[in-house]
Amino acid sequence: GGGPAGLRAAATAAQRGHRVTLCESTDVLGGQIRTAATAPGRGELAGLVRSLEVECRRAGVEMRTGVHVDAAVVRDARPDAVVVATGARPRRPDWAGDTGLVVDVRDVLDGRVSPHGDVLVVDDLGFHHATSVAELLAERGVAVTVCTAGMIVGQDLGLTLDMEGWTRRAHAHGIEQLTDTLVTAVAERDGRLDVALRHHPTAVAHRRTVAAVVVATHQDPVDELWTALRGSAFHVVRIGDAVAPRRADAAIVEGERAANRL
């Protein structure tokens, strides 16, 4: 995997004298950090990816993109060690059903979908995911409402000193914010979504109709490769979101530690 965990592990392992091949299933390196860097005001994150790529190149890491790796490919390569940094996938909320009008923030930031009209963004994570996509859509002229079960949207933005800036920009863009509010169900009607909402402190229910819902929600590890390789004769370790989805700093630290233990 070529996200921040895999890049850090590859660079450090190569710097320590190992012969390293890094395989990434997509056509670009960087994982979710590269995706996040496409959001308004977050372009500096691309510098993290560039820095890790440069370290890998200088250390002699062979980097392959657009390569799918399964257990058979790994065993055919006969490695001494495998570091599984396969990341995480979005967990679709139970209330979302199978409608195509409910999409993940990564689909929007990566450009796979472009919602328009009036859009509800659901903030289950309390961090940059929801606020970034809300700003991106608002800059495109979309009427955006952000809904969160928390007391404030982006409740952890204060950790990165971004809360004041988000609040100011959200006001300037006319982004509506619904707090202490849960989405309980959606129903597609005539090409739009009827969304059932509940203000959980009071249990008051209400509804609104939107063109699409974008969810910033929890993720699950992509751990199929790890499961298939467990018990192999060679050393296997997993790192980053393949263990449990978290933030980039934890992934980078795990990559460094894993490489130092090889």
Q: What is the C-alpha to C-alpha distance for residues 192 and 124, in angstroms, rounded to an integer?
A: 22
The percentage of residues in the chain with a pLDDT greater than 70, rounded to a whole number, is: 100
Segment 98-116 mean pLDDT: 95
| 159 vs 260, more confident | 260
Q: What is the C-alpha to C-alpha distance for residues 9 and 251, in angstroms, rounded to an integer?
A: 10
pLDDT for position 160: 87
Q: What is the mean pLDDT of the chain?
A: 96
Say how many C-beta atoms besides its own lie within 10 A of residue 154's C-beta.
27
Q: What is the C-alpha to C-alpha distance for residues 151 and 183, in angstroms, rounded to an integer?
A: 15
Q: What is the pLDDT of residues 204-233, one digit of tens each?
A: 999 999 999 999 999 999 999 999 999 999
Q: What is the C-alpha to C-alpha distance for residues 14 and 62, in angstroms, rounded to an integer?
A: 10
Residue written as token pair 């997993």: 238
Assess contact for 62 and 20: CB atoms under 8 A.
Answer: yes
Assess contact for 115 and 122: CB atoms under 8 A.
Answer: no
Token reading at 12: 């450090």
Q: What is the C-alpha to C-alpha distance for residues 122 and 153, in angstroms, rounded to an integer?
A: 9
Q: What is the C-alpha to C-alpha distance for residues 125 and 157, in angstroms, rounded to an integer?
A: 11
Q: What is the C-alpha to C-alpha distance for residues 67 and 65, in angstroms, rounded to an integer?
A: 5
Helices of type H across the chain: 4-15, 31-36, 45-59, 71-77, 105-109, 128-139, 163-173, 224-229, 248-260
Domains and CATH numbers, the chain: 4-89+219-260 (3.40.50.720), 92-216 (3.50.50.60)
Q: What is the C-alpha to C-alpha distance for residues 69 and 163, in angstroms, rounded to an integer?
A: 40
Segment 101-110 mean pLDDT: 96
Residue written as token pair 């002229």: 141
Q: What is the C-alpha to C-alpha distance for residues 211 and 205, in angstroms, rounded to an integer?
A: 20
DSSP 13: H
Query: Which residues lie closer than 8 Å to 175 by C-beta, 6 or more apart?
Result: 134, 135, 138, 144, 145, 146
DSSP 218: -
Segment 250-255 mean pLDDT: 97
Looking only at the bridges linking them, the beta strands covering 102-104 and 212-216 are parallel
pLDDT for position 214: 99
pLDDT for position 167: 95
Assess contact for 179 and 153: CB atoms under 8 A.
Answer: yes
Q: What is the pLDDT of residues 37-73, one digit of tens each?
A: 998 888 999 999 999 999 999 999 999 999 999 999 9
Assess contact for 48 and 248: CB atoms under 8 A.
Answer: yes
Q: In the beta sheet, which residues pair with residue 100?
A: none
